[in-house]
Amino acid sequence: MLQTSRKGQWFQIIIPQKWEGLTLDDLFRHKWEAPKKLTHFFRMEHKVLLNGNNANWNNPLIPGTKLQLNLFEEEESEIPASYFEIPILYEDDHIIVFNKPPLMSTHPNQINLEKDTLLNAAVFHLQTNGEIRNIRHIHRLDRDTSGAILFAKNALAGAILDRMLEKRTIKRTYVAVVHGLLNSKKGTLHFGIGRDRHHATRRRVSSSGQDAVTHYQVVKVDQGKKLTYVKCWLETGRTHQIRVHFSHIGHPLVGDTLYGGQPICNRQALHAAKLEFIHPFTEEQIICYAPLLDIPTIFKGVDVYSL
Taking the C-alpha atoms of residue 66 and residue 127, their distance in angstroms, rounded to an integer, is 30
Enumerate the H helices of the chain as residue ranges.
Answer: 24-26, 36-44, 118-128, 155-166, 241-248
253 in helix, strand or coil?
strand
Return the C-alpha torsion angle 25, 27, 31, 34, nearest 10. Answer: -60
* Residue 57 DSSP class: T
Closest CA to 140 of 94, 116, 108, 176: 108
* Catalytic residue chosen out of the listed positions 116, 142, 144, 196: 142
**Burial of 54 (C-beta count, 10 Å sphere; 0-12/13-18/19+):** exposed
39 neighbors 90 (Cβ within 8 angstroms): no
Q: Is 142 a catalytic residue?
A: yes
Active-site residues, by number, are 142
